[in-house]
Chains A and B, each alone.
Chain A
Amino acid sequence: MIELKDIRKTYHARSGPVEVLRGLNLRVEKGDKVGIVGRNGAGKSTLIRLIGGIEQPSSGRITQTMRISWPLAFTGAFQGALTGIDNIRFICRVYGKPYDEVIDFVEDFSQLGRFLREPVKIYSSGMRARLAFAVSLMIDFDCYLIDEVVAVGDARFQARSHEELFEVRRDRAIILVSHDANYMRLHCDKAAVLEEGTLRHFQNVDDAVAYHSQRMLS
């Protein structure tokens, strides 16, 4: 279970304080697949980063009883000067997981080949996302946070990701941020629209997507 209660987050920008989240509530149970939509700058990534524990809310409380992944996004999570393999070792140690089997799995899954032995800073953002995705699958999180990285890799990679995440690990929770309405329809069973710093919850993804596109047009 993850519960966010009355979350507020203010950033102190050069032009003054910006209140991104204003009293947001969210509850995610084991196995829930929650999609989050919102226009650019609505605070979707901020929300994901708060749930992932990268940043702390300015006020409000986050309670969690699940192992939550770090936000799988196009940036972060890796030390650029280290090779892919060294980063895998580091992450495994941080989460207390023996790394031999993880390295085998990642080598096979990420299709990074010899680049795994090159520094991560030379990777493209797609390669990083594939590495992050592959490593996180092996760490056995109860909840995966996915920020816009659903469309990485070729068709084969996507098919395997789908299988690993939604079939092999179908009991895990997922919180997904995406602009891709189709993907969300296929993979989420509920959704929420982030606007004006709070979440509007919908039991049905279609309703959320329809509401969101209507708001975008108005």
Chain B
Amino acid sequence: MTRYGRHNIGFLWLFVEPMLFTLGITALWTIAGFHHGSNLPITAFALTGYSTVLLWRNMPNRCVGAIIPNSSLMYHRNVRVLDIFLSRIALEAIGATMSFVTLGLVFNFLELMGPPENALGVVQGWLLTAWFGAGFAMLLGALSEKSELVEKLWHPAAYLLFPLSGAAYLVDALPPDFQRAALWLPMVNGTEMVREGYFGSKIVAHYDMTYLITCNMVVTLFALALERIVSREFVPE
């Protein structure tokens, strides 16, 4: 409510905002005849790529520096640091998912792209990316309480990660050395999984699910540990 207000479309912004982002990117790439190293339909390519970016990027965006504006709510013993992170993560996950699904349906209806070959594969990649985003968000959110540097560094880092994240390329189109390097990034694995689910036989996807799950678990573990420390030390105004 504090974020969307009661004016104009209110909380519909939750998914209209990411939709506009995705639409913009899709339009740009279509007009520019973006070269992505394969002959996949550009609309579907942009939608799967950019939606996945929004999924793992918006959660950390909202969790960095999330505690201070809500510090007065900590006056209530039932409200913990973790609650604030979880509620923000849930909102972003819902927003990004609604945007992805809605645009997917609309594009299908307009026949700009076909339905996914393997919907369950898409869901699987999507969920693992969401898990990664959630853990990463909590980690950065807790770290940002320890040091203001995190907030300053996260924005350029997020910006630089975008072209690296697999949204704008297929791993298969990279030279083999780059492929291995790219797959070190957990989100590239997630994006590849989403793409494989969507395009199936049309592409060769490269990912390591075990690696992604391991990354997720490690990140989540560190995030929860750090959250414990921060919530013990935190002093509301």
Residues 59-87 of B contacting A (Cβ, < 8 Å): 70-79
A204 at the interface (CB under 8 A from B): no
Find out whether the CB atom of A79 lies under 8 angstroms from the CB atom of B70. yes
Residues 12-30 of A contacting B (Cβ, < 8 Å): none
Q: For chain B, what secondary structure do more than half of its interface residues adopt (helix, strand, loop), or is it mixed?
A: loop
Number of residues of chain B lying within 8 A (CB) of chain A: 17
How many chain A residues sit at the interface, stated as a range, is 20 to 34
Q: Do A95 and B74 contact each other (CB < 8 Å), given the known contacts A54-B236, A56-B232, A82-B1? A: no
Find out whether the CB atom of B75 lies under 8 angstroms from the CB atom of A79. no
Specify which of B1, B70, B76, B78 lies most central, judged by the most chain A CB atoms within 10 Å of its CB: B76
Number of A-B contacts (CB under 8 A): 46
Find out whether the CB atom of A68 lies under 8 angstroms from the CB atom of B75. no
- Residues of chain B lying within 8 A (CB to CB) of residue A91: 76
Interface membership of chain A positions 63-92, coded 1 if the CB is closer than 8 angstroms to chain B and 0 otherwise: 000001011000111111110001000110
Closest to B3 in A: A81
Of B1, B72, B232, B235, which is within 8 A of A77 by CB? B72
Find out whether the CB atom of B78 lies under 8 angstroms from the CB atom of A54. no
B237 at the interface (CB under 8 A from A): yes
Closest 10 CB pairs of A and B: A53-B77, A77-B75, A81-B2, A76-B75, A70-B75, A76-B72, A94-B78, A56-B232, A94-B76, A70-B76
Which residues of A are in contact with B by a Cβ distance under 8 Å? 11, 52-56, 68, 70-71, 75-82, 86, 90-91, 94-95
